[in-house]
């Protein structure tokens, strides 16, 4: 697409160790990479709990689901799922944006919108769980 | 390559579809029987069930190829034959777990 990458522009001038220390155009990413794995392992446990619970529930009527979600353990698991899956999704969608949105301004806007959406979504979920678990009918 | 693409598509797809459905389910449960009836009517319809089956396959596929990623991250499984076997295994595992999940939902 005619884009000149950082490597194209600066590649010839850096020493070998400079290439390593430069960490590429983002100047970071280890933390992102690690958190993607940490949240992945968390999701394995938490969503695993949700999947097994869904199989074991006798039906999915309002009464059944409401009384199940009012118990402390399912409420805790769902609350953690809100934090963990939305964080995992935030990291994954950020990579998608970085790969496919090339214009710097659009990229910033997309990542801004992503952050608002995931925090808003997780907060809505947490509030809904709290409402059920703390007894509002 | 197919496994890598499927991992991305199912992951990003779940972010756009599975998380909103999960939020709607929780929000409807918190709102009361009427809101829950709306949710149940939409998700119990044929298109709704197709969406739920799709979400469950996306999850089990993403989970299977994700576990493969974690194993590759510790440095194992880079021999061509092993790598190929695990790639095929992760796709098969996604399909088998989806079938097992729905069998469990319908039978238990």
Domains annotated on chain B, with CATH: 2-107 (1.20.1300.10)
Residue A110 in any domain: the answer is yes
Q: Of the candidates B22, B30, B42, which has an alpha carbon nearest to the alpha carbon of residue A51? A: B22
pLDDT band at residue A1 using 50, 70 and 90 as cut-offs: very low
pLDDT tens readout for residues A72-94: 999 999 999 999 999 999 999 99
pLDDT over 70 percentage in chain A: 79
Structure tokens at A15: 């020493």
Note whether A128 contacts B40, CB cutoff 8 Å: no
* CATH number of the domain to which A44 belongs: 1.20.1300.10
Chain B residues whose beta carbon lies within 8 Å of the beta carbon of residue A89: 11, 14-15, 19
The more confident residue out of B103 and A30 is: B103
Note whether B8 contacts A54, CB cutoff 8 Å: no
Q: Of the candidates B106, B56, B61, which has an alpha carbon nearest to the alpha carbon of residue B87? A: B61
Residue A51 in any domain: the answer is yes
- Residue A100 in contact with partner chain B when CB distance is under 8 A: no
Structure tokens at A4: 């000149």
Q: What is the pTM of this model?
A: 0.87
Domain of A121 in residue numbering reads as: 28-133
Residue B16 has pLDDT above 90, yes or no: yes
């Amino acid at each position: 697409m005619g884009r000149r990458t950082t490597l194209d522009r600066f590649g010839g001038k850096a020493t070998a160790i400079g290439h390593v220390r430069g960490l590429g155009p983002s100047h970071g990413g280890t933390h992102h990479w690690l958190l993607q794995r940490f949240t992945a392992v968390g999701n394995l446990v938490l969503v695993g709990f949700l999947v097994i619970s869904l199989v074991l529930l006798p039906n999915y009527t309002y009464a059944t689901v409401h009384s199940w979600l009012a118990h402390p353990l399912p409420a805790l698991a769902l609350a953690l799922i809100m934090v963990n899956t939305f964080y995992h999704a935030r990291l994954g969608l950020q990579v998608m944006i970085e790969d496919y949105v090339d214009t710097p301004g659009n990229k910033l806007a997309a990542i801004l919108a992503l952050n608002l959406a995931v925090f808003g979504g997780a907060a809505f979920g947490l509030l809904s769980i709290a409402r059920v678990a703390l007894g509002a009918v | 390559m197919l496994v890598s693409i499927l991992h991305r598509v199912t992951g990003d797809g779940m972010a756009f579809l599975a998380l909103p459905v999960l939020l709607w389910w929780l929000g409807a449960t918190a709102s009361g029987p009427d809101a829950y009836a709306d949710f149940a009517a939409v998700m119990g319809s044929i298109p709704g069930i197709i969406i739920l089956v799709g979400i469950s396959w996306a999850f089990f596929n993403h989970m299977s190829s994700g576990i493969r990623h974690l194993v590759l991250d510790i440095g194992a499984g880079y021999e061509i034959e092993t790598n190929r076997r695990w790639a095929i295994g992760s796709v098969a595992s996604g399909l088998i777990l989806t079938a097992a999940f729905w069998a469990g939902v319908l039978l238990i």
